[in-house]
Chains A and B, each alone.
Chain A
Amino acid sequence: MINPERFRYVRILFITILFIFIMIYISLTSGTFDLTIREVFNTLLRLNSSPEHDAVIFDFRLPRILLAGLVGFALGIAGAVVQGITRNGLADPGILGINAGAGAAIVVFMFFFQYQISDTGWQAIMIQPLFGLIGGIVATTLIYFFSWKAGRIEPQRLLLSGIAISSGFGAFTVFLSLKMKATDFEMATVWISGSVYNANWHYILSIFPWLFLLIPIIFRKAYLLDLFQLEETSLKNLGVSVEKEQSILLLSSVGLVSACVSVSGSIGFIGLMSPHIAKQLVGIKHRYALPISGIIGALLVITSDYIAKSIFSPIELPVGIVISIVGVPYFLYLLIKVKK
């Protein structure tokens, strides 16, 4: 007998992946100069390719699409985890200030260290996520500290302290980037608002280990995330080590977010929107909702990046801004829905 929930999951999985391929196709073929599908395939499969096509696809378009996809996937999953363990559908790594914390730490890193080791830029790119992680953990610790009341996290306090910490770190980041050289400042500003336009293979390599390590940890705990939807007494009664599991899951998602921030800046709202869309599509079981949330995240970032680079072409918008245009109303809509 086929489990109907599983059937629905497989169907949605298939459809969303199909959408991703369609978006990849569109992004690969269209741009400042259009390629035909034959040219794309010839280049990808290394059949009589031309150096120009190689450059367009391998140096510009492909790494950018892949990075957008990976970042979206990771942010979607991190969002689902954060919402799951806080039992709060309005939680999102961006709103909670994890992005801002990671971003501030990375700007500190850029400001003080990157120039000294700029001849080994490759290493700098690999170290960047680590700095992001430290910033992310600092932000998370602060949020926990402020929203902790009587042995538990209060949802309202969590959101409020997250917003406060987010603007605090944001201000610090702007302050530091203002002290940079004019060219670096411009770079930093684009990066802060969230962009993948300077994507390259090094970036992809630098976040890949994080995703490869942390996503399986999270997937294996999907069942626990289901249990986390019960209240704390029931959880403890079932023999769940609540604090331990909560920390593992939270740290894993902070790790994912920090890796993403280090390569693409602060892309907000993906972690908020994707889990909601995923749960609408496949129900509340995390074993199904987690992967779909990741895929929806990837689809959102790839699509938004395509819009960002083509709508005012040749001028590019940071992808984070395009996502915010959709994300802000969505957040408000959720707020109203929660109130009811």
Chain B
Amino acid sequence: MSILSVQKATTRYEQNLVFQDLDLDIKKGVVTSIIGPNGCGKSTLLKTIGRILKPKSGKIYLQDQELTTIPTKKIAKHLALLPQNPIAPSELNVEELISYGRYPHLKNINKLTSEDKDIIEWSMEITHTLSFRDRQLHNLSGGQRQKVWLAMALAQKTEIILLDEPTTFLDLAHQLEVLQIIERLNADFHCTIVMVLHDINHAARFSHEIVAMKKGSIVAKGTPAQLITTEILEQVFQIRARVMTDPHNGSPVCYGYESTLPV
């Protein structure tokens, strides 16, 4: 069953066409990763699904309701989006920022209920941010900051979470930590996850479904085993990849590649 469905969507960014007549179904309770080279439109697709960008034509359905017919505040209770480089005042403290995630649920915007506070507590626990809850944002490392933003998205308590390159600019350990938090959200709390990832191996290891995009269209879609193959990687990224199966967890791994572009 699909929880999100994109039907014949066309989006432009300023004057440039990013994608045209694009169709995509996102299955409920599944982790879907979108991969593709720079400028293929994957971020734009994510923003269109998250109603940050309005499609020029075509429709997006959340469950069975068309996105433009739902009040934006109501959408925010079902769908959270973490942008690529989120910005907040550096003097803001961690817990304060996370509490902003409760905004769509607040009845009285100046007061958090005990339920709100419990959910904020929960999202800090899941994201391991409790230990620096009182710090100001400028005192955090890049990895800590990313987890705080993730916590804010969690505080929205949505069944769908969209993430735009959640691991960019993080070191290896933090990349893995963020992805494991996401994995847990899906496994334990049945969140539907759609994320844009740069790293093919991360996508292979942490997703159930992979969508490969190139030049504004979806080239292939399927399980990691179906998608992470020499043929498809060549078609999408113009690389000649060597792929094997990781004996540790059974997911395909690209362990080396050469460019097919003329030097």
Name which residue of chain B comes closest to A279, CB basis.
Answer: B91
Task: Give bound CA distance, A241 to B75, whole Å.
Answer: 12
Any chain B CB within 8 A of the CB of A52? no
The interface stretch among A15-23, A68-76, A226-234 is A226-234
Task: Give bound CA distance, A253 to B258, whole Å.
Answer: 59
Assess whether A237 is in contact with B81, with CB atoms less than 8 Å apart. yes
Give per-residue flags for B77-104: 1 if the beta carbon is below 8 A from chain A beta carbons, else 0: 1001111001111011000100011011
B89: which of A224, A233, A284 is its contact (CB, 8 Å)?
A284
Assess whether A238 is in contact with B91, with CB atoms less than 8 Å apart. no
Number of interface residues of B (CB under 8 A): 30
Task: Give bound CA distance, A63 to B51, whole Å.
Answer: 52
A239: which of B89, B92, B104 is its contact (CB, 8 Å)?
B104
Q: What is the interface of chain B mostly: helix, strand, loop, or mixed? A: loop
Any chain A CB within 8 A of the CB of B156? yes
Given known contacts A223-B109, A241-B72, A284-B89, A233 and B83 CB-to-CB distance under 8 angstroms: yes
Given known contacts A229-B88, A231-B83, A237 and B50 CB-to-CB distance under 8 angstroms: yes
Assess whether A237 is in contact with B76, with CB atoms less than 8 Å apart. yes
Any chain A CB within 8 A of the CB of B110? yes
Assess whether A231 is in contact with B87, with CB atoms less than 8 Å apart. yes
Assess whether B104 is in contact with A238, with CB atoms less than 8 Å apart. yes
- Tell me the residues in window 21-35 of chain A with beta carbons closer than 8 Å to chain B beta carbons: none
Give per-residue flags for A99-138: 1 if the beta carbon is below 8 A from chain B beta carbons, else 0: 0000000000000000000000000000000000000000
Number of interface residues of A (CB under 8 A): 21
B74: which of A227, A234, A239 is its contact (CB, 8 Å)?
A239
Assess whether A283 is in contact with B91, with CB atoms less than 8 Å apart. yes
Task: Give bound CA distance, A233 to B73, whole Å.
Answer: 14
Given known contacts A231-B86, A239-B104, A287 and B76 CB-to-CB distance under 8 angstroms: no
Task: Give bound CA distance, A234 to B100, whole Å.
Answer: 10
Give the shortest distance, in Å, between A167 (CB) and chain B (any CB): 31
Any chain B CB within 8 A of the CB of A236? yes
Assess whether A236 is in contact with B14, with CB atoms less than 8 Å apart. no
- Tell me the residues in window 38-52 of chain B with beta carbons closer than 8 Å to chain A beta carbons: 47, 50-52
A233: which of B52, B92, B109 is its contact (CB, 8 Å)?
B52
- Tell me the residues in window 280-330 of chain A with beta carbons closer than 8 Å to chain B beta carbons: 283-285, 287
Any chain B CB within 8 A of the CB of A1? no
- Tell me the residues in window 219-262 of chain A with beta carbons closer than 8 Å to chain B beta carbons: 222-224, 226-227, 229-231, 233-234, 236-241
Assess whether A233 is in contact with B72, with CB atoms less than 8 Å apart. no
Assess whether B103 is in contact with A238, with CB atoms less than 8 Å apart. yes
Assess whether A230 is in contact with B14, with CB atoms less than 8 Å apart. no
Given known contacts A223-B110, A236-B52, A241-B72, A284 and B104 CB-to-CB distance under 8 angstroms: no
A234: which of B14, B83, B91 is its contact (CB, 8 Å)?
B83
Give the shortest distance, in Å, between A295 (CB) and chain B (any CB): 20
Task: List 9 interface pairs A-B (beta carbons < 8 Å), by A numbering.
Answer: A150-B14, A230-B88, A233-B47, A233-B52, A234-B83, A238-B76, A238-B100, A238-B103, A240-B73
